[in-house]
Amino acid sequence: MPKFNYTAVDAAGKEVRAVIEAPDQAQAIAKIRGQGLYPTAIGLAAGGGKSGGSKGGKPAHHAPAAGKGGKKSGLQAEIKLPAFMRPRVKPKDLMVLTRMLATLVDAGLPLLRGIKVLERQTKSAALKESLVGMSEAVESGATFSEALGGYPRIFNNLYVNMVRAGEAGGVLEVVLNRLAEFMEKAEKIKNKVKGAMIYPVVVMFAAIGIVVFLITSVIPKFQDIFNDLLEGKKLPAITEFVINISEVVTKNGLAVVGGLVVVVVLYNIWGRTKSGRYAIDTMKLKVPVFGSLNSRSSIARLTRTLGTLLASGVQILQALVIVRDTSGNSVIARALQNIHDAVKEGESMAGPMGQAKVFPPMVVAMVEVGEETGALPDMLIRIANTYDDEVDNAVAGLTSIIEPLLIMFLAVVVGTIVIAMFLPLISIIGTLSGQTG
């Protein structure tokens, strides 16, 4: 009997790789699904015999079943480029696609027809390719969530699991609407933060450019003047300090740039280690001013994600795993793992949340009330809305503080350089005046 290598994901989103025996590829996929797994890639094992689903021992990537008329299903589409080289889908494009699909399904249009309509309308090449594959997969008998699972770079675990829950509960249009609202909220917050940081970043780059120009072009000319006119007299301490910095930068410019590059590279390497990432994420949550903003933003995102998942019918343990993997902060991810383990043992969420010392007391109290009243999803969404408002206010306040601080910083730096250059000039002018007198 032929053997098939397959890759699948379980209900918690974990990847599983194994071998299975079956008369053909379609029955192999049926067996895999019977184990509670969702296949994302399957192919005939080397020396495993012939099968109608895959020829020549080549893996049929992303193939739930062979399509009619020799068509390849969405999960059979050949990957032409390595994953890291394939174009990414913009969050805005995915948000618009989800909203349009939700509208079409809510209006009573069959899912397959809705996918084909969007396939003709979308301008994103990567989205169009995925829609073609998904329509073929659905035509071949795969569920929509299984078709989505074939494109993990576009549709993450959150997306796939919410759709799976919607399919199981017969409320796909409701889940798609929730997904669209979720992405719109997330994109709105992200755009507000980006917009608020544009002015400070521009001012900072302008400050750096001005300082570099003064150090590399202006100060060396002043240094030549001082050497000619002061005839070896001692310069003021502040002037010597500025001139020394200028000499280091101008004479060892490449070494300075190389040193900065090395520091950045080492920082990134350290940040990829488990301990380094945890230390950096801890600092992000505790650094003055920005730490509070990062904490509120993370809490708003995770509570909205968790609330949306639970409201869509996803089991709480599975929802906690998804939120942990999409939290974006290893400190919060570790706290969520502890909550997951406690809930698995039969405890409530509020207890381990309070012990984690990551979540504010108000969040813990509201979660506790939500668990006691059976309205946890609604309570989590309320927490998210509250913290979204706090993030908006914090961003506005931070912007109003950063702008004058950056201007003051630029004034101090440039003013220091100007004073350092003019102090010796005063001495020179006094000496020249005495000579002429």
| DSSP codes, 173-239 | HHHHHHHHHHHHHHHHHHHHHHHHHHHHHHHHHHHHHHHHHIIIIIHHHHHHHHHHHHTTPPPPHHH
Mean pLDDT over all residues of the chain? 79
Query: What span, in angstroms and rounded, lies between the C-alpha atoms of 298 and 335?
Result: 13
Q: How confident is the model at residue 86 (pLDDT cuts 50, 70, 90)?
A: low
Distances (CA, A) of 274 to 16, 71, 271, 332: 23, 45, 8, 14
Q: What is the pLDDT of residue 431?
A: 65
As a whole-number percent, the residues of the chain with pLDDT over 90 amount to: 6
Q: How confident is the model at residue 77 (pLDDT cuts 50, 70, 90)?
A: very low
As a whole-number percent, the residues of the chain with pLDDT over 70 amount to: 85
Average pLDDT over residues 103-113: 85
The secondary structure element, H or E, covering residue 11 is none
Q: What is the pLDDT of residue 71?
A: 39
The secondary structure element, H or E, covering residue 114 is helix 111-121
Q: What is the pLDDT of residue 366?
A: 92
Distances (CA, A) of 148 to 3, 60, 160: 26, 17, 6
- Report the alpha-carbon angle 298-97-120, nearest 5: 160
Of the candidates 348, 397, 347, 394, the one whose C-alpha atom is nearest the C-alpha of residue 373 is 348
In this structure, of 83-97, 182-196, 414-428, the range with the lowest mean pLDDT score is: 83-97
Q: What is the pLDDT of residue 79?
A: 38
Half-sphere exposure of 84 (CA within 13 A, CB side): 0
Digit-coded pLDDT (tens) for 13-72: 567 888 888 887 777 877 887 787 766 677 777 655 544 443 333 334 344 333 333 333
Average pLDDT over residues 203-230: 83
CB atoms within 10 A of CB 11: 15
The secondary structure element, H or E, covering residue 42 is strand 38-44
Pairing state between β 15-21 and 38-44: unpaired
Which positions ≥6 away from 113 have C-beta within 8 Å?
A: 104
Complete edge-to-edge strand list for the sheet that includes strand 59-60: 15-21, 3-9, 38-44, 59-60
Half-sphere exposure of 394 (CA within 13 A, CB side): 18
Report which of residues 381 and 188 the model is more confident about. 381
CB atoms within 10 A of CB 279: 15
56: phi > 0 → left, psi -120 to 50 → alpha, else beta; which? Answer: left
In this structure, of 27-36, 66-75, 176-185, 352-361, the range with the lowest mean pLDDT score is: 66-75
Query: What span, in angstroms and rounded, lies between the C-alpha atoms of 178 and 149?
Result: 19
pLDDT at residue 239 is higher than 50:
yes
Domains of the chain plus CATH, in order, are 3-60 (no CATH), 85-182 (1.20.81.30), 199-437 (1.20.81.30)
Query: What span, in angstroms and rounded, lies between the C-alpha atoms of 176 and 182?
Result: 10
In this structure, of 39-53, 136-150, 235-249, the range with the lowest mean pLDDT score is: 39-53
Which pair of structure tokens corresponds to residue 159? 């997306």
Query: What span, in angstroms and rounded, lies between the C-alpha atoms of 337 and 236?
Result: 59
